[in-house]
Structure 1
Amino acid sequence: MALVGDAYAYFDRKFYSLTVPIADLERIHTGCRWAEGPVWFADGGYLVWSDIPNNRLLRYLPDHGVSVFRADANYINGNTRDREGRLVSCSHGARALIRTEWDGTITVLADRYQGKRLNSPNDVVVRSDGTIWFTDPTYGILSDYEGYKADPEQSGCFVFRFDPSTGSLSVVADDFVKPNGLAFSPDESTLYIADSGRSHDPDGPGHIRAFAVSEDNRLSGGAVFASLEKDLFDGFRVDVEGHVWASAGAGINCYEPGGALLGRIKAPQMVSNLCFGGPRRNQLFFTATHEVYSVFVGVSGCQRP
Structure 2
Amino acid sequence: MKKRFDVIVVGELNVDIILNGIRSFPEIGKEKFCNDMTLTLGSSAAILASNLSALGKKVSFVGKIGNDMFGHFCKNQLQTKGVDTSLLCMSETVKTGATVVLNYDEDRANVTYQGAMQELTAEEVTKEMLSTAKHLHFSSYFFQPGFKNKLPQLFKIAKEIGLTTSFDIQWDPNEVWDIDLNSIVPYVDILLPNETELLHITRSPNLRKALSILAKQKNITVVKRGNKGSLLVHDNLTIIGQPFVNETVVDCIGAGDSFNAGFLFKFLNQESLESCQDFANLMGAVSTTQAGGTAAFTNYEETLQIAKEKFEYEPCDNVAG
Structure with max Cα Rg: 2
The structure carrying a bigger strand percent of its residues is 1
The structure carrying a bigger helix percent of its residues is 2
TM-score, with structure 2 as normaliser = 0.36
